[in-house]
Structure 1
Amino acid sequence: MSGRLLRLACTAVCALSSLAFTVPPEPAAPADGDDRTVIALLTDLQRLYREAEQASETYNATEEQLKRQRAEVRRLDTELARARTSLHDSRAAAGRLARQQYQSTSDLSPYLRLLLASDARRALDQGHVIGQVARERAATVDRLTGGERKAGSLAREARKALDTQLALARKQREQRDKVTGRLDEVERLLASLTAEQLTELSAREERETEKSQKTFMASGALSSTAKNPTAQGERALRYAVEQLGKPYEWGAEGPDTYDCSGLTSQAWADAGTPIPRTSQEQWARLDHVPLDRLRPGDLVIYFPEATHVALYLGNGKVIQAPRPDTKIKISPIAANPILGAVRPDPGSTPMPTYTPLTLPENAEQGSNEGFNGIF
C-alpha cells in the first residue's frame, strides 16, 4: 500500500478517535471485499494502534533501562579488571613472603633472641626490624585475602548485571516485534478500504482538526499575551525547526528520524537541559505548567495516558513528529486531545526580546494527528 494511502487512512483514524467530536451514527458503506462498515474498520484500527502504543512506550522505556544497564556492566567490568590486577600483585607479594619464610635459617623468636643476645641494644634494633617485617607480612596476607573477596564479589555482580542486560535485550526484542506486528496488521486492514473511503476520511480529519483548534482557541485556555522563551527554550525550538520534514520512526532519536518524544528529548538535550526520553516520563517528572502560562519551548502532552508530546512554538502552534508515515511538521496545538503541559527549565528567565523563528513554507503540510497518542 502506498505511503500516501496509509497517511490518508491513518490520519482519519485519529480524527475519529479525537475527544473533540463524536462519530456520526450513520454507518458508512462496506468496503469492497469486506462486509464490515468503515466505522467497524476504524474501531479495529484504534484497537491495533492502542496495542501498538503500549508496546512502543514500553519499548522506549526499556531502551533507557538497557542503556543504563550497559553502562553498569561496563563499570563493573572495569572495576573487576582493576581488582584482578591488584589481586595478581598481592599474590606475587604473598609468593615472595612464602619464599622468604622457607629460606629463613633461624627458628628463634624475636623474644628469645633478645634474652640470649650479648648486646641488648643491637638485639632490640633487630627485634624492631623483625617486628616491622612481621607487620608487613600480615598486611600482605590481609591484602591478598581482601582482594580475593572483592574480586569474587565483583565477579558475581558483573555476572548478575550481564544477565539483567540480556533479559532487557530479550524484552526489547519482544516489544519491537509486537509493535511491528500491530503495524503490519494496520496496513493489511487499511488495504481493505477503497480510495473513496480514504478520501472521505482525510477530508473528515481536516474539518475536525480545524474545528477542534477553533474551539480550543476560543475557550481562552491560552493567554492572549505573547510570552518569550528562555534562551534554552529558544535553542530547543531552533533544533526542532531544523528537523522539519524529517521522517517519523518509532523508537528513533535522530539525527535522521525521530518519534515524538525522541524529538522533544533531543531538542532539549541540544539546548543543554537533558530531559526524560519518553512522553510519559516527561509528564511524570517535569514541572507542570498551566496552559495559560505556556511559553515557546514548553512541552505539550497529549491523551490521558501521556503518550504523545510536542514542543510549543507559540501562537497556538506546536512542532511535532505525529506518527509513522508522516514527517516532522507544525501543527495546531489542539490537533490531539491535550492532557497538559510541562516545562523543562522552570527556573530560567525568559528572553527580554524574541524574534520568532523563520519556518519553511511547507512546514504545516501533512497529517496533524498523533493516532490516539500511540507514538
Structure 2
Amino acid sequence: MNRRHCASAAITLVCALSVLITPVQALAAPTPPSAGAKAPKKTLEEVREEIDALYRKAGAATDAYNLAEERADKQSTEIVKLARAIVVGQAKITELKAQAGAQAREQYRTGGLPPGAQLMLSDDPQLFLDGVSRAREGQQAAQGVLGELTRTQQDLETYTKDASINWKKLEAGRVKQAKAKKRIDAQIAAAKKLESRLKKEERARLLKLEEEAAYQQQTAWLSSGALKDINREASAAGKRAVAFATAQIGKPYVWGAEGPGSYDCSGLTSQAWAAAGQPIPRTSQEQWRLLPRIAIKDMRPGDLIIYHSDASHVGMYVGDGAIVHAPRPGRNVTLAGAGSMQILGVVRPDK
C-alpha cells in the first residue's frame, strides 16, 4: 500500500473513532453551512447604510489628506523663504569677510597700527586729537564688522536649522498624504463596487432611499423646534459667501477639489468664504477646531454647519432650514436640509 492509501486509511479511521466517542447530544448541533454556500443577500437599505459608511470614512480620510496638503504648502513656502534668507546671509557674510580682510591687510601694511594710531604719535597737538578720534572710529568699525559677521553667521545657522526641520515636516506630511490617499481610494472603490452590483432600477431606488432617510432626519429636526428662533440676516460677507456657494450647484463632488469645476465639502465652503474676502481653514475638522462656535438658535446664512462626531462633513447654511453642500463622490453640489445629517455644531467665519 502506497503512502497516499495509508494516509487515506488513517483519516478514515480517525473520522470513525471521532463519531464513536462524540457525545450523543452533539449530533443534534446544526450543520454549519458548506464553504460554497452564499451569504444571505443584503437588503437595499443595508447596502445604502454600508455605502454611506464607506463614503463617510472616505470623507474623514479626505480631511486628513487636505490638511496634510495645506501644511505641506505652508512648509514649502517657508522653505523657499528660508532658502532666500540663506542666500542673502551667505552673500552678506562674504561681504563682511572682505571688509574684515581689508582692515587686517591695512593693519599689516602700517606695521600693525591703523593710520589713526600713527597720528596719535605726532608732536602736533591737533593731529594727536584727530588721531585719537580716528583710532576710536577705526576700532568701532572693526568691532562693528566682526559683530555683524558673528550675528549673520548665527542667523544663517538658524535659517539652515529651520529649513531642515521644515523639510522633515514636509516629508512626513507627504507620507501622511500618501496614506490618506490610499485610504480614500480604497473606501471609494469599495463603495463604487457595491453600487456597481446593483441593477439600474436598484440604483434609482437607492437614491430614493437616500432622499427618504435625509427627509426623515430633516423632518425630525424641524419638529424639534430647532428653527423656531432662527431668523437672522446674513452679514455682507456672509451674503457674498452664500452667493458663491449656491452658484456652484450642479458641479460634481471630487475629493480634494477646490474648484472651479468641482469641489469636496470643505473645498466648497473654504473657497466661498475666500471669495467673500474672509480666508478660513481648508478642512471641515480645522474649521470646527479653529472658527468661533455659535448656538444653532443664533445661526444665520453663511454660517457653517459641521456634521458627524468626527467633523468629517460641512455645509453652508443658506436660510430657511437649508444648506448648500458637496455631498460625496457620485453626487453634485446641491441644496439639502440642514438637519438631514447628524449636526455636531455651527461655526461662524466672520464673527
The question of a shared fold, defined as TM-score above 0.5 by the shorter chain, is answered with yes
Do structure 1's residue 76 and structure 2's residue 82 form an aligned pair?
yes
Q: SS state of the match for residue 324, structure 2?
A: strand
CA contact (8 A) 1:222 1:294 kept: no
Paired amino acid for 1:61 = L
Q: Give per-residue Cα distances to partners, 1:138-190, cap 9 Å, x unaligned.
A: 22222223322322232222222222222212321221122112212222233
Tell me, in whole angstroms, the C-alpha distance in 2 between the residues paired with 1:112 and 1:96.
18
Match of 2:330 in 1: 325
Q: 1:35 aligns with which of 33, 39, 60?
A: 39
Residues 34, 192 of structure 1: 8 Å contact kept? no
Alpha-carbon distance in structure 1 between the residues aligned to 2:264 and 2:147: 55
SS of corresponding position for 1:323: coil
Q: Distance in 2 between matches of 1:220 and 1:152?
A: 62
2:72 counterpart of 1:66: yes
Residues 1:108 and 1:143: Cα distance change in structure 2 (over 3 Å)? closer
Q: Deviations over 1:233-254 (max 9, x none)?
A: 1111111121111111111111
Q: Distance in 1 between matches of 2:279 and 2:337?
A: 26
Match among 231, 234, 237 for residue 229 of structure 1? 234
In the TM superposition, residue 42 of structure 1 has moved relative to its aligned partner by: 5.2
Mean CA deviation greater in 205-214 or 269-278: 205-214
Q: Of 165, 177, 198, which aligns to 1:193?
A: 198
| Residue of 98, 106, 122 corresponding to 2:104 | 98
Report the CA distance shift for 1:125/1:42 in structure 2 as closer, same or farther (over 3 A): same
Tell me which residue corresponds to 2:3: none
CA 288–121 in structure 1, closer or farther in 2 if over 3 Å, else same: closer
How far apart are residue 67 of structure 1 and its match?
2.2
Count of matched residue positions in the alignment of Structure 1 and Structure 2: 313
Determine helix, strand or coil for the equivalent of 2:242: helix
The answer on whether the counterparts of 2:116 and 2:134 sit within 8 Å (CA) in structure 1 is: no
**SS in structure 2 at match of 1:284:** helix
- Please state how far the C-alpha of 1:260 moved relative to its aligned partner: 0.8
Compute the displacement of 1:329 (Å): 1.1
Match of 1:286 among 271, 286, 291: 291
Q: Which has the higher contact order (CA 8 A, sep 6+)?
A: 1
Q: Distance in 1 between matches of 2:229 and 2:117?
A: 95
| Structure 2 Cα separation of the partners of residues 61 and 148 of structure 1 | 35
Aligned to 2:257: 252
Q: Work out whether residues 107 and 113 of structure 2, in 8 Å CA contact, stay in contact via their aligned partners in 1.
A: no
In the superposition, relative to structure 1, how do residues 178 and 108 fare at CA in structure 2: closer, same or farther (>3 Å)?
A: closer
C-alpha distance in 2 between matches for 1:254 and 1:284: 24
Q: Alpha carbons of 1:178 and 1:204: their partners in 2 closer, same or farther (altered >3 Å)? A: closer
- Given that 1:310 and 1:320 are in contact with CA atoms closer than 8 Å, whether structure 2 keeps it comes out as yes
Q: Which residue of 2 aligns with 1:13?
A: none
Identify if the C-alpha distance between structure 1 residues 123 and 172 changes in structure 2 by more than 3 Å, giving closer, same or farther. Answer: same
Q: In the alignment, residue 123 of structure 2 is paired with which amino acid?
A: S
8 Å contact from structure 2 (residues 48, 206) kept in 1: no
Q: Who is 1:162 aligned against? A: 167
Percentage of identical aligned residues = 34
Matches within 5 A, 1:133-282: 133-223=138-228, 226-282=231-287
TM-score (norm 2): 0.79
SS state at 1:335 partner: coil
Per-residue displacement from partner, 1:202-243 (whole Å, max 9, x unpaired)? 332233333332232222110266432111111111111211
Match of 2:92 among 77, 81, 86: 86
Contact 1:221–1:291 (Cα < 8 Å) also in 2: yes
Which structure is larger by alpha-carbon Rg, 1 or 2?
A: 2
Q: Is the 8 A contact 1:301 1:339 kept in 2?
A: yes
Question: What residue in structure 2 maps to residue 311 of structure 1?
Answer: 316
Q: Quick check: 1:301 aligned with 2:306?
A: yes
User: For the aligned residues, what is the CA RMSD?
Assistant: 2.7
Q: Which runs of 5+ in 2 are unaligned?
A: 1-36
Is the Cα contact below 8 Å between 2:83 and 2:163 reproduced in 1? Answer: yes
* Structure (1/2) with the larger helix percentage: 2
Q: Which runs of 5+ in 1 are unaligned?
A: 1-32, 347-375
Query: Matches of 1:224 and 1:177 in 2, distance apart?
Result: 44
Counterpart Cα distance in 2 of 1:274 and 1:261: 12
Cα separation, partners in 2 of 1:177 and 1:131, compared to 1, 3 Å = same
